[in-house]
């Protein structure tokens, strides 16, 4: 069923669900926010004074969660993605307003129902591929005519607002791109440079000829370098670092023995049970019962051969299956193909996304039977699919699912597809409704098994949990700061694990995983503070805040690993320069026990030199006409200090004509303009309150 139909038929419960979730979050977070001193809990943030409203953000988040539900995207990932999207939207909105851009009523109608209509996917004729414009207009008109505020709001949020925003964004991009031109002189200059080649002779003395330990780099030198190169070493967002100790509450050996004994007690009853599904529902199992067959090849279970060797009716286990103890029972064996192709027409009784009823069972059965009769009487299967099928996943493909493996479909669909020969046609009932099905193709047959699993997770006992909890609490109480934290860890023979670069809106911590509660604590406390134990899965974690890296110019300690080598090489370069300055290439080579080398066909447009690697300074010097047949001053390059002499500069055969080059240069320059949102972000005033609310 299409989105527009869902809005039309059940729009109220969808929007009420979104609003309810947002309001619950609002109420809960309001209490939390007061504890944290938030002044306005409804404001998630501001961009140049424009408010990002918490409730509206939550509504959009719930829509995104629905859209990405099948992809397993985490809520915390979508919060970050949606935040960046909202910031970019408001930054561009600022610029669009300054330019007076707007979308009129007629223009909006053209956008909504034109070639790029957001309704196109919902209202495409499956037989012809044509967009059914009138059907789309009628559906929207009916919703507006109903005066149902919730349904109208849903249409606004899902279709109209995004369409207006996309249209304005396109207008803005066109203005920016069209405003970018490349002057003739620049294109001619760069064209000549791109076709220039040079040949040089050179001698190089690598930095590695001076041992690193002989060159000391002081904190003052690092600080001075950072100041001189401040733009390259800016910290965009404040971060903090911690060290942490974990105390495991995972099941002990004793817990595992007890768990095995517990599941062993079920073994005989499981074997004797005649209604397997009911028995498993009664006693509970970690592996859901699948009431169909799976080929031996596709069966992915531990000790597969041992399980299959017990025969039909037999049980095997308990055996270890990850964190579970499992007993397997073989219920049946058949000769089935590994894969099959079918086509079908689904007459749905429920919406698979929300479980809501869409048709009475009897109405669906009657329609499916009528379709069966019509097709047997010569009606086109493809036309019937396009007209009646409720399965969006196969409708565009004539109702076909091609060469799918066993166990991919619900049991009744699976059984029909694999248990019957090619060409079989029938009406089949599943959890989703009634399917008119036809088997098109199958692979050769082999053994397939129906197996039920009684599986119980090994859980830690209260004794195990209490021991870990007590140890963590004792450690936390004994550690008052970084020094005592590390000392206490040594006494317990534990290694404190560092985790750096934690930001206020992070959800994950390196080495720990998802730990939003710890991130909050890290930014609510001060450097040197030690936490109470945090319970995370099978672990209790105690952390200490070790440092803070504030927004702005990077600190000496944080930047040293990045810049120490650069500064050391600069100091080495000065030493090397002093020994070779004013000498000929031959004299330098003799003193350094090296040889004069040659590099030909050096391109001006490339920073690479064959045999030397990335050396842009040498490439630049190679095209200095003043160095033709002369020795350069020593050049401090990336890998060492070089003296060069230019043998000659020439023009090579052009790879493309000037006109094509100019068009390509213009396209490259214009493509850079699409990064405007990130440029605006650097100068924008952005207030981010996510930390207080999530």
State the Cα–Cα distance between residues 122 and 155, nearest whole angstrom.
Answer: 13
Are residues 623 and 198 in contact, defined by beta-carbon separation less than 8 angstroms? yes
Q: Fold match between 239-250+461-550 and 339-443?
A: yes
pTM for this model (two decimals): 0.71
3-state SS, residue 577:
helix
State the Cα–Cα distance between residues 444 and 10, nearest whole angstrom.
Answer: 45
Q: Which residue has the higher pLDDT, 242 or 677?
A: 242
Provide the pLDDT confidence category of residue 127 given band limits of 50, 70 and 90. Answer: low
Q: Which residue, chain included where needed, has tokens 């197996």?
A: 451
pLDDT in tens, 13-36: 333 333 333 333 333 344 434 344
Identify the helix (H) or strand (E) that includes residue 27.
helix 3-36
Mean pLDDT of 61-65: 86
Print burial letters for 537-547: b (CB count within 10 Å at least 16), e (below 16): ebbbbbbbbbb
Residue-wise DSSP of 36-77: HT-S-TTEEEEETTEEEEHHHHHHHHHHHHHHTGGGT--HHH
pLDDT in tens, 357-387: 889 999 999 999 999 999 999 999 999 999 9
The percent of residues above 90 in pLDDT, for the chain, comes to 65
pLDDT in tens, 520-546: 999 999 999 999 999 999 999 999 999
Answer yes or no: is pLDDT of 661 > 90: no
- φ/ψ (deg, to 5) at 645: -135, 130
Fold of 239-250+461-550: Chitinase A; domain 3 (3.10.50)
State the Cα–Cα distance between residues 119 and 25, nearest whole angstrom.
Answer: 31
Q: Would you mind telling me the total number of residues written for the chain in this entry?
A: 694
Fold of 339-443: Chitinase A; domain 3 (3.10.50)
CA atoms within 13 A of residue 201's CA, in its CB half-sphere: 13
109-113, 287-291, 315-319, 618-622: lowest mean pLDDT where? Answer: 109-113
Both tokens of 454, joined, read 């009684």
In this structure, the number of other CB atoms found within 10 A of the CB of residue 659 comes to: 10
Q: Given 3-state DSSP classes, what are the helix, strand and coil percentages for the chain, each rounded to the nearest 5? A: 50, 25, 30
- Taken in order 261, 263, 266, 272, the sign of the CA dihedral is negative
Q: Of the candidates 521, 491, 488, 490, which has an alpha carbon nearest to the alpha carbon of residue 242?
A: 521
Q: Of the candidates 304, 561, 593, which has an alpha carbon nearest to the alpha carbon of residue 449?
A: 304
Q: What is the pLDDT of residue 677?
A: 63
State the Cα–Cα distance between residues 29 and 33, nearest whole angstrom.
Answer: 6
Mean of per-residue pLDDT scores for the chain: 88
Domain ranges for the chain:
3-178, 196-234+557-651, 239-250+461-550, 253-335, 339-443
State the Cα–Cα distance between residues 391 and 387, nearest whole angstrom.
Answer: 11
Answer yes or no: is pLDDT of 41 > 90: no
- Rounded to the nearest angstrom, the gap between the alpha carbon of residue 331 and the centroid of all alpha carbons in its chain is 41
Answer yes or no: is pLDDT of 206 > 80: yes
Answer yes or no: is pLDDT of 150 > 60: yes
Provide the pLDDT confidence category of residue 8 given band limits of 50, 70 and 90. Answer: very low
Please provide the distance, in angstroms rounded to a whole number, between the alpha carbons at the two ends of the chain.
Answer: 34
3-state SS, residue 607:
coil
State the Cα–Cα distance between residues 460 and 250, nearest whole angstrom.
Answer: 6
CA distances from 669 to 173, 181, 672, 674 (A): 13, 8, 5, 10
Mean pLDDT of 125-151: 79
């Amino acid at each position: 069923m299409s989105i527009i139909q869902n809005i039309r038929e059940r729009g109220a419960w969808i929007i009420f669900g979104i609003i309810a979730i947002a309001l619950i979050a609002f109420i809960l977070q309001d209490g939390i926010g007061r504890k944290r001193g938030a002044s306005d809990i409804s404001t998630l943030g501001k961009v140049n004074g424009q408010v990002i409203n918490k409730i509206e953000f939550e509504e959009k988040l719930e829509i995104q969660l629905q859209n990405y539900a099948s992809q397993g995207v985490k809520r915390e990932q979508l919060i970050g993605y949606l935040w960046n999207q909202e910031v970019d939207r408001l930054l561009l909105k600022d610029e669009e307003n300054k330019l007076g851009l707007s979308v009129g009523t007629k223009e909006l109608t053209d956008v909504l129902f034109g070639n790029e209509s957001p309704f196109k996917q919902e209202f495409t004729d499956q037989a012809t591929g044509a967009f059914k414009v009138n059907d789309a207009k009628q559906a929207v008109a009916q919703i507006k005519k109903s005066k149902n505020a919730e349904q109208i709001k849903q249409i606004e949020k899902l279709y109209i607002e995004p369409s207006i925003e996309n249209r304005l964004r396109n207008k803005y991009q066109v203005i920016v791109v069209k405003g970018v031109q490349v002057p003739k002189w620049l294109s001619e200059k760069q064209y000549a440079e791109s076709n220039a080649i040079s040949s040089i002779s050179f001698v190089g003395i690598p930095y590695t000829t001076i041992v690193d330990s002989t060159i000391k780099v002081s904190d003052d030198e690092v600080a001075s370098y950072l100041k001189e190169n401040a733009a390259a070493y800016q910290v965009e967002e404040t971060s903090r670092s911690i060290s942490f100790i974990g105390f495991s509450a995972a099941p002990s050996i004793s817990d595992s023995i007890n768990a095995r004994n517990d599941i062993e007690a079920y073994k005989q009853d499981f074997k004797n049970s005649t209604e397997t599904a009911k028995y498993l529902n009664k006693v509970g199992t970690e592996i859901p019962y699948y009431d169909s067959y799976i080929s031996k090849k596709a069966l992915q279970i531990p000790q597969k051969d041992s399980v299959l060797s017990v025969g039909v009716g037999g049980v095997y286990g308990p055996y270890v299956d990850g964190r579970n103890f499992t007993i397997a029972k073989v219920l049946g064996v058949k000769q089935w193909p590994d894969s099959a192709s079918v086509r079908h027409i689904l007459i749905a009784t429920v919406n698979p996304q929300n479980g809501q009823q869409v048709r009475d069972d009897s109405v669906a059965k009657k329609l499916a039977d009528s379709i069966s009769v019509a097709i047997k009487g010569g009606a086109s299967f493809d036309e019937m699919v396009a007209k009646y099928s409720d399965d969006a996943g196969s409708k565009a493909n004539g109702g076909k699912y091609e060469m799918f493996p066993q166990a991919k479909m619900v049991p009744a669909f699976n059984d029909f597809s694999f248990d019957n020969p090619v060409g079989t046609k029938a009406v089949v009932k599943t959890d989703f409704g009634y399917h008119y099905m036809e088997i098109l193709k199958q692979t050769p047959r082999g053994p397939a098994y129906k197996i039920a699993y009684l599986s119980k997770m090994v859980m830690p006992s209260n004794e195990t949990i209490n021991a870990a909890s007590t140890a963590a609490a004792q450690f936390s109480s004994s550690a008052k700061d970084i020094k005592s934290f590390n000392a206490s860890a040594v006494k317990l023979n534990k290694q404190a694990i560092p985790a750096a670069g934690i930001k206020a809106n992070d959800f994950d911590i390196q080495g720990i995983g998802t730990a939003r509660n710890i991130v909050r604590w890290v930014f609510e406390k001060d450097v040197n503070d030690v936490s109470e134990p945090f319970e995370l899965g099978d672990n209790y974690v105690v952390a200490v805040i070790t440092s803070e890296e504030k927004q702005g110019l990077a600190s000496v300690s944080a930047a040293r690993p990045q810049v120490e080598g650069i500064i050391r090489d600069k100091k080495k370069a000065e030493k090397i320069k002093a020994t070779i300055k004013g000498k000929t290439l031959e004299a330098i080579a003799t003193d350094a026990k090296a040889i004069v080398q040659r590099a030909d066909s050096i391109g001006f447009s490339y920073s690479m030199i064959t045999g030397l690697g990335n050396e842009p300074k040498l490439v630049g010097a190679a095209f200095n006409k003043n160095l033709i047949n002369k020795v350069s001053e020593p050049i401090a390059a990336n890998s060492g200090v070089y003296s060069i002499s230019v043998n000659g500069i020439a023009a090579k055969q052009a790879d493309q004509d000037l006109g094509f080059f100019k068009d390509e240069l213009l396209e490259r320059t214009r493509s850079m303009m699409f990064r405007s949102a990130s440029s605006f972000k650097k100068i924008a005033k952005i207030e981010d309150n996510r930390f207080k609310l999530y």
